[in-house]
Amino acid sequence: MPLHKLPTPGGAHSRHHVNLRIERWNRRSMYASVLVLLLSGAAWLIARYFLRPASQFGETVHPLEPWAMKIHGAGAMVMLFFLGSLMHSHIRRAVKARRNLASGWAMIMTMAMLVMTAFGLYYLADEASRPIWSTIHWVIGLGLAGLTVAHVLIGRASR
């Protein structure tokens, strides 16, 4: 009889252990990309709303703003790569094992909303709607930091 068809020791209703732990390199890469996105996004927010120098022509762009955006865009590409790598190794197995689903689905939905609002900012926003797209994006982005910590802690507690 194949191993996957053997009865579980505790009967039909016992849950077998599924290792959902992400490999160290992948986990560290995800944490690093979340950190880069959080720091570059926060740097942009600070430069945009608190550091803009005034000139004789009004407020001007702080030199940190474009660099923060470039780093943020690069971090987003890296994050999307590593998020894709989690689809098979972590997300699919977690859904199948029915573990940590609430915070996991919240993470997926949050990431999807960040991708959609980033797309909106880059391709859809005009001067009138850009502040709305931007505010939605950075509010969700700041929330991702707490959600990530919660997801990791809940996952570790369930092991």
pLDDT at 19: 74
Each residue of 21-60: pLDDT tens digit?
788 998 899 999 999 999 999 999 999 999 988 888 888 8
pLDDT at 62: 93
Closest-CA residue to 3 (of 16, 20, 21) = 16
Each residue of 77-136: pLDDT tens digit?
999 999 998 888 888 888 888 888 999 999 999 999 999 999 999 999 999 999 999 999
Question: Is residue 14 scored above 60 in pLDDT?
Answer: no
**CATH 1.20.950 describes domain 22-157:** yes
Inter-residue contact 22 to 82 (CB < 8 Å): no
